Amino acid sequence: MTTSVHDPALTAKHRAMWATGDYPRLAAELVSPLGPVLVEACGVKPGDRVLDVAAGTGNASIPAAVAGGDVVASDLTPELLAAGRLAAEQRGVELRWQEADAEALPFGDAEFDTVMSCIGVMFAPHHELAAGELLRVCRPGGTIGLLSWTPEGHIGRLFAAMKPHLPAPPPGVQAPPLWGDENHVRALLGDEVSDMTVQRRSLTVTAFPDGSTFRDYFKAVYGPTISAYRAIGDDRDRIAALDADIAAVGDRFVTGPSTMEWEYLLVVARRR
């Protein structure tokens, strides 16, 4: 495993990326079913101290609070936290919202009974640092739960399609979908956990009849895709190539009328 160094400038860049577009819309329309899946897998119960890392708009945080957890929803991007806070208020759910970097969490050692992340921590650029923080803030015997897109699945292939059109990442930065690879996660958590269970599952999405519809939606609302297009500027040929590559990913995963299966990896482990 390589040694990673926290980079505040890169953190600021990531914060800005996730504030572009309309991720709260995507979270509500497409991936909201994932949060309850993770909360159930973690076995959150009344009184548990729960930290949701890279919580976004609270897709897992809010269900954890509904389950009775004493929840802190932490995220790098204040705009996402604001949307989550509003959603929680509309549901009458109380929890704490705190701006925090997954690579340098502002919490004490062993502070939480459950530390979880639902398609969130996977986007921290330095995987080793983020994994170390997940472990540090979880008490011995506590639960660590992760839900991440797989490299082979639909979102993993989206990132693979965008990669050739982007500048090379800084040294030490790893691809987000690696968190959806069992061997990678086992290497990150290592001997610090026990009783690890790993499952591949899929989220059924019924929003897109074809790849071009999928592409246009993600161009409008998804920060990483918006950033990819901004990186190539006004070059029409490069825009057309990226358009085609993303649409091809969408077409590849359409399995029926407006139906896609988006694969993810669900990991639950016990902190030693």
CATH number of 39's domain: 3.40.50.150
Instruction: Note whether residue 219 is domain-resident.
Output: no
Average pLDDT over residues 220-225: 98
Instruction: Note whether residue 211 is domain-resident.
Output: no
Average pLDDT over residues 235-254: 97
5 band by pLDDT with thresholds 50, 70 and 90? confident
Instruction: Note whether residue 100 is domain-resident.
Output: yes
Nearest CA to 120 among 213, 223, 196? 223
**What number of other Cβ atoms are within 10 A of residue 69's Cβ?**
26
Average pLDDT over residues 80-101: 98
Determine what percent of the chain is predicted with pLDDT higher than 90: 97
Which residue matches tokens 């015997």? 141
6 band by pLDDT with thresholds 50, 70 and 90? confident
The total domain count for the chain is: 1
Which residue matches tokens 């897998």? 41
The Cα–Cα gap between 211 and 86 comes to: 32
Print the domain residue range for 196: 8-156+165-206+261-271
Average predicted confidence (pLDDT) for the chain: 97
Instruction: Note whether residue 112 is domain-resident.
Output: yes
Instruction: Note whether residue 119 is domain-resident.
Output: yes
At 52 the three-state DSSP class reads: strand
* pLDDT recorded at residue 2: 41
Instruction: Note whether residue 141 is domain-resident.
Output: yes
Angle at CA 23, nearest 5°, toward 119 and 161?
A: 65
Does residue 1 register a pLDDT over 60?
Answer: no
Average pLDDT over residues 144-162: 98
Nearest CA to 125 among 87, 90, 76, 84? 76
Average pLDDT over residues 9-28: 97
Does residue 122 register a pLDDT over 70?
Answer: yes
* pLDDT recorded at residue 3: 54
Instruction: Note whether residue 193 is domain-resident.
Output: yes
Does residue 207 register a pLDDT over 90?
Answer: yes
Instruction: Note whether residue 222 is domain-resident.
Output: no
